[in-house]
Structure 1
Amino acid sequence: MPGAEAILALLDSRSFGSIWFWVILTLAWTMAGRRSLGVPSDVIAAAGRGGAGAEDDPAALTLLDWLSLTLPRWQLGPREGAVLLGIGAFLVSTLAVLGFGYGLEMAQALVLLILPFAGLFALDLRLARRLGAVLARAEIGQPVNEAGAEAARLLRHHRRVGLAISVLSVAVTAFYGAAWMLAHPYGF
């Protein structure tokens, strides 16, 4: 079966010793930290600085507008969520067995890259559900400044958690990659 051998050969190629793996890891976490649910960080920061005056804060309105545009993309029904969870769990567990069970370096690297993003994706979905409730309350009469401040607070907290996950993920990947390179100096 040449197709299966080609896939296993690709998964067994050098990862931790390649500069491209580290570039992809760095770019992936950099891009993940730039936005929360598609809302730019400067919009979140501006909404957090808004005053509690009687008139509506333009920054809070801007944040709520961003949320009304981006939140529908983050809504999953029970059926879509179950299918996504099943496919994701199958792929990650397959890579984990190939990587840590059979010692394939590329599969180990992919697990260390994908698994934290799966956790961050779950947190994104949870945040979207919470922000959907904030947006619904703003649509039925909650003052714009209060809704904007609450949304900005939730987004800032999510960003801090995402930053902690990214730092931990890169550190674990770097330590594991260094240990792999020490244990396998010639790649096998």
Structure 2
Amino acid sequence: MTLTEGILALLDSRSFGSIWFWLLLALVWSLAARKVVGVPYDVVQQVRRMPQDANDDAAAFQLLDWLSLTLPRWRLAGVEGVLMLFVATFAFSALFLLGFVYGLEMAQALVLLILPFVALFPVELRLARKLTPLVEAAGAGELSVDEAARRAARLMRWHRAGVTVVSILVVVMTAYRGALWFLAHPFGF
């Protein structure tokens, strides 16, 4: 085997038969659970460990500070939302047709990799809309910093639990689809 053949074998475009696809799938889903709306999950966990009688705890300030920095990124104006929806729908429809109508393995793998994130995006937008009033209320003094941080952390923990369940289901469904692909194409083509 020459060096060129070795490199091409390493970068094989077959998705379900490539270790790189499965490593990418594991990496993407492990990274998806590390942050909730852009906030590292260990910051959320620090709020959970705060004592109940704490006033103006540093962990609460840190979480609200993170949220005040990341939540503006989740606001979509009407034109931006429509344009994003149009481009995403077009790209995803093209990938779906190439994968499941024309039988291209790479397109099927990309659909299985991207589809859950397409479904989770509106959920993250909704979470950001729920967290924004909490941060604003804490900033205006209508709600104590600790109470706002506890409520935000509770919402974010539930969201992360949902993402964890979705990630398990996605990996299982992708492995099932990969097994079906191998049964239908035993020699890889």
Tell whether the structures are fold-level matches, with TM greater than 0.5. yes
What is the aligned residue count? 177
- Check if 1:182 corresponds to 2:183: yes
Q: In structure 2, the residue corresponding to 1:100 is in which secondary structure?
A: helix
Supply the RMSD in Å over aligned alpha carbons: 1.4
Residues of 2 paired with 1:111 and 1:101: CA distance? 12
Aligned to 1:172: 173
Residues of 1 paired with 2:106 and 2:86: CA distance? 22
Aligned to 2:72: 72
- Check if 1:60 corresponds to 2:46: no
Shift of 1:122: 1.8
- Check if 1:50 corresponds to 2:50: yes
Q: Structure 1 residue runs of 4+, over 2 Å off? A: 51-55
Shift of 1:109: 0.5
Aligned to 1:7: none
Matching of residues 32-181 of structure 1 within 5 Å: 32-53=32-53, 55-141=55-141, 142-181=143-182
Unaligned runs of 5+ in 2: 1-12
Moved more, 74-83 or 170-179: 74-83
Give the alignment's TM-score, normalised by structure 2.
0.89
Q: In structure 2, the residue corresponding to 1:103 is in which secondary structure?
A: coil
**Identical columns (%):** 56
Q: In structure 2, the residue corresponding to 1:69 is in which secondary structure?
A: helix
Once the two structures are superposed, what CA deviation does each residue of 1:97-129 show, in whole Å capped at 9, x if it has no partner? 111001111111000000001112221111111
Q: In structure 1, the residue corresponding to 2:174 is in which secondary structure?
A: helix
Residues of 1 paired with 2:165 and 2:79: CA distance? 31
Give the alignment's TM-score, normalised by structure 1.
0.90
The answer to whether the 8 Å contact 1:52/1:145 transfers is: no
Residues of 1 paired with 2:59 and 2:175: CA distance? 39
Residues of 2 paired with 1:129 and 1:30: CA distance? 25
Residues of 1 paired with 2:38 and 2:54: CA distance? 29
Shift of 1:55: 2.3
The answer to whether the 8 Å contact 1:43/1:59 transfers is: yes
Q: In structure 1, the residue corresponding to 2:33 is in which secondary structure?
A: helix
Once the two structures are superposed, what CA deviation does each residue of 1:41-94 show, in whole Å capped at 9, x if it has no partner? 111011122233362121111100110111111111121111111111111111
